Structure 1
Amino acid sequence: MLSQKTLIRLAPWLVILFLGVLWEAIVVGFKVPEFLFPSLSAVWTATLTHWDPIMMHATQTFLTTMAGFGIAVVFGLALGAAVGSSPVVYKALYPLLVGFNSIPKVAFVPVLVVWFGIGTIPAILTAFLISFFPVVVNVATGLATLEPELEDVLRSLGASRLDILKKVGLPRAMPYFFASLKVAITLAFVGSVISETVASNLGIGYLMMAASSAMDMALVFAGLIVIGVMGVVMYELFAFVERRLTGWAHRNPNGAM
């Protein structure tokens, strides 16, 4: 019998294996045309055949995504700290932030193309626009939910508002911050790929659009899988850092992160 710890480690791989076998069996068993829905073996063959261009476009997408994500983290952390530490700023900006986040970010792509032209900059800005909101909200929530009693005790000991923010508020908001990073990085990939499908001649989004125009659905699915793998890798990286830096905030280290 496998131990619970071993089963937890193997569970994702077992699910992936099961879904891969099911995918192959459905496509082969029902003889689905490859131009509609390729088999997993066809996707694997396309990946090996087009490995060099896939890696070139994947590198472009990864760098673009990380640039937009990095800007989102810096901007989101600063704005979240301002919103969460001041009730006035919270009331003034939060409705605007919610309204802005409600706008589909694909609607900004044509505007960004007019301003900056076709290429990398619209993709970076789209990744930024779609990923900064979770950072702002989570950091603001972590700061705004600081217990009033704790603030009163710290003020009675002579701590200023800035001292409370630096020594208590921000450390307490770190679990919220890392939770937002895991969400924001996946959204950043979505933003960059959206922009690449519309206004770029590089990146996985562009590769998928070119492949779909040629009815090469195996290459399209290869691009989708590459994006998924990059998203999972970055998510797990931030989850690892989160466990190392904020392990005190999680009672069950084997639970969902």
Structure 2
Amino acid sequence: MHLSQKTLGRLAPWLLSLFLLIIWEAVCRGFEIKPFLFPAPSLVWTTGVELAKPIFEHSIHTFLTTMAGFAIAVVVGGLLGMIVGSSPIVYRALYPMLVGFNSVPKVAFVPVLVVWFGIGTIPAIITAFLISFFPVVVNVATGLSTLEPELEDVLRSLGASRLDILFKVGLPRSMPYFFASLKVAITLAFVGSVISETVASNLGIGYLMMSASASMNMPLVFAGLVVIGAMGVVMYELFAWLERRITGWAVRGQNAPG
């Protein structure tokens, strides 16, 4: 019985992941690679099961920290994107500064944040915010700035104010851009929080991985990487699902909501 294209599309990520895991396991066993260099998936799984409780506790801390920084990034980035996208003057004034700020490696801010706020959760939240707000700003501003001038002229001729155009036309039109930014920003937020945890925290997956690497416990390091990747994939898929439900009118073809 032949699989339909839709079913095959749903199974493809799982089949590819399974294939890569089999190759990974075969390479580690075939070349007898030492676990402290490159552990096999079976060893990573065993370590994850044995240390499930501490991994879960640290992963919950990382998840909550990431969500806090991400939430701030969405609010600040959305508001700033609205301001930048609705005014050409503000766009020209702020955009070079935003690009320059985003070009600075965020890990460079962590020592400064430690001096200001001490070691702990706050530097991780701020780092997650700093690294994830830029995509939100850019996409919201792009969505608003691409509104056709002819459409604006028609709406003004019908008596619509600038706020009417912004809230009733501009923002709904920018929703696909907004949700696209969320899918990018959430993965970056995890990167930011883990970076900070490896440098300036005594909790979280980043701290757990640094402690494990110091003792050459590579299976635990890889277990931490798997947990971070899994959390990122779950949140990405959540926002992709919301995108299909809320902005289905902007989706075409196979990605349309079913």
TM-score above 0.5, yes or no: yes
- 5 Å-filtered alignment, 1:49-64, equals 49-64=50-65
- C-alpha distance after superposition, 1:76-133 (max 9, x if no partner): 0000000000001001100000000000000000000000000000000000000000
* Contact kept? 1:247, 1:253, Cα under 8 Å: no
Match of 1:71 in 2: 72
CA distance in structure 2 between the partners assigned to 1:146 and 1:249 by the alignment:
15
Q: Which residue of 2 aligns with 1:167?
A: 168
Which residue in the other structure is 1:103 paired with? 104
Cα distance, 1:30 vs structure 2: 0.7
* Cα deviation digits, residues 220-245 of structure 1 (max 9, x gap): 00000000000000000000000000
Q: Is the 8 A contact 2:198 2:206 kept in 1?
A: yes
In 2, the alpha carbon distance for the partners of 1:69 and 1:83 equals 20
Equivalences for residues 72-151 of structure 1 within 5 A: 72-151=73-152
CA distance in 2, matches of 1:71, 1:93: 19
Cα deviation, 1:143-188, whole Å, max 9, x if unaligned, reads 0000011000000000000000000000000000000000000000
Q: Distance in 1 between matches of 2:255 and 2:71?
A: 28
Q: Give, as a single letter, the amino acid of the residue that structure 2 aligns with 1:155.
A: R
Aligned pair count? 255
Q: Check conservation: 2:25, 2:40, Cα contact below 8 A.
A: yes
C-alpha separation in 2, matches of 1:119 and 1:74: 23
Distance 1:253 1:96 in 2: 39
Instruction: Please say if residues 57 and 202 of structure 1, whose CA atoms lie closer than 8 Å, have aligned partners that are also in contact.
Output: yes
Matching residue of 2:178 = 177
Amino acid at match of 2:197: E
Q: Which residue does 1:32 correspond to in 2?
A: 33
* Equivalence map 1:202-241=2 (5 Å): 202-241=203-242
CA distance, structure 1, for counterparts of residue 163 and residue 4 of structure 2: 48
The runs of at least 4 consecutive aligned structure 1 residues that moved more than 4 Å come to none
Task: Give 1:208 deviation, angstroms.
Answer: 0.1
Gaps of 5+ in 2: none
The runs of 5 or more residues in structure 1 that have no matched partner are none
Partner of 2:20: 19
Give the Cα–Cα distance (whole angstroms) in 2 for the partners of residues 246 and 157 of structure 1.
Answer: 26
How far the C-alpha of 1:21 sits from its partner, in A, is 0.4
Report the TM-score, using the length of structure 2 for normalisation. Answer: 0.98
State the alpha-carbon separation in 2 of the partners of residues 56 and 253 from structure 1. 39
